[in-house]
Amino acid sequence: MRLSEQPKNANTSKVAKKEPSSKRVRRTSLFPASTFEDALTIPLAIQKHAAGQKIRRLTLFDQIGKSPDSGGSRQAIVNANKYGLMKGSYSAEHLELTPDGRIATSSEASPREKLTARFKLAIDKIQPFKKLYESQKGSKLPASSVLEDLAKENEVPAEDAKECVQTFIVNAKYLGILKSMAGAERFIPLEQALEELPVVASKTDTDDGQATVSSGKSASEPRSIVESDWDKICFYISPIGEEGTKRRNHADLFLGSIVEPALEEFGLKVVRADKIGKPGMITSQVLEYILKSKLVIADLSYHNPNVFYELSLRHVCRLPTVQVIRKCDPIPFDLDQFRTIQVDTASIFTMVPNLQVYKAEIATQVRAALKDPDSVDNPVSTYYPTLRVSF
């Protein structure tokens, strides 16, 4: 009699159950697994509870009321280390801030010192982020796919490229080096961001985020621009208005969504009056841009008197000019016989589908104006064809 004979296929079944599953792909270590703002949690707690000095890990987590052994706590320490904010692993007895981490979290450091330290840790020391920033500095935020391709070119694995780009964008926005300007998100130079902050710490500086600016230049205050290569400048004459008004929103929308994209192929830098002087004032700098820029695009919307004044100066000098206007605004009788591009802003449903058309119309007019400036008529050249202005 046979005792407990195993089925013939028993071993086969057992082996089949032990077959290993496909190996999990480990995420890249080229950049941290969190944003810089999230990584500040533990370092800021060290500043608050230990005045920035070394502290026992268990004591710190007891102070902030969190479990030191939870997955979230461990990952927070890893991320802070990855950014170079602190030293000490999730199993270390003590945690302490690095010199840069101490400045980046200090309420006594000036906003400029704090931003410099944070930029160094959040962007400059993370190679994929550094290369993305250097490639985009001074430019509008491109499509995510463009940045993802750049990340891949810089050895970020394809499966991690999207996460890399998203983390980089959030970090840049948090630091203030990615900001809304002229109707578009732009990466600004660190030097510009620093200039817009006060030199010394103010009483409103916080230790749980970015410093609140209470003196010095406003974050949205334009910088003065002085040009020398006028052949690369397009001066944009437009009704500007105060920050947050309908006219400012209009000016920013036209500039960022229509005018600048239309001029990309010509290699022209677009400058608006609020970048060189105070809105509403005709300064010597504004006059210089009107008379020296290679091209002027004038927005006749709202029938702003300053716009017509500046446009008339350009007409007298018979220099290349392109005119645009909202479709709901009538073209003044002395300009209605000359080509003016009308943009239908009645609703988002009428404007967005035609953005490409408007950009193409502007580009076509620009090409003609630059190719043969004398062929582009205006009221002055029509009635006084022999008039010439020289400097």
The boundaries of the domain holding residue 61 are 36-105
Q: Please tell me the total count of domains within the chain.
A: 3
- Does residue 305 form part of some domain? yes
pLDDT tens-digit profile of 171-211? Answer: 998 999 988 776 678 899 999 999 988 876 654 444 444 33
Q: Identity (one letter) of the amino acid at 274?
A: D
pLDDT of residue 375: 61
The CATH number for 276's domain is 3.40.50.450
Rounded Cα distance, 61 and 213, in Å: 31
Confidence category of residue 284, pLDDT binned at 50, 70, 90: confident
Q: Is residue 223 scored above 50 in pLDDT?
A: no
What's the whole-number mean pLDDT along residues 361-376?
Answer: 80
pLDDT tens-digit profile of 7-16? Answer: 444 444 444 4
Let me know whether 377 and 240 are in one domain. Answer: yes
H/E run at residue 85: none
- Does residue 1 form part of some domain? no
Q: Is residue 374 scored above 70 in pLDDT?
A: no
> Exposed/middle/buried for 333, CB within 10 Å: 0-12, 13-18, 19+?
exposed
pLDDT of residue 387: 80
pLDDT tens-digit profile of 76-130? Answer: 999 999 999 999 999 999 999 999 999 999 999 999 999 999 999 999 999 999 9
Let me know whether 238 and 378 are in one domain. Answer: yes
Confidence category of residue 281, pLDDT binned at 50, 70, 90: low
Computed over its alpha carbons, how large is the radius of gyration of the chain?
Answer: 29
Q: Which of 297, 308, 351 is nearest to 326 (CA)?
A: 351
Locate all alpha helices (DSSP H) within 34-125, ordered by sequence.
Answer: 36-39, 41-50, 57-64, 71-82, 99-105, 111-119
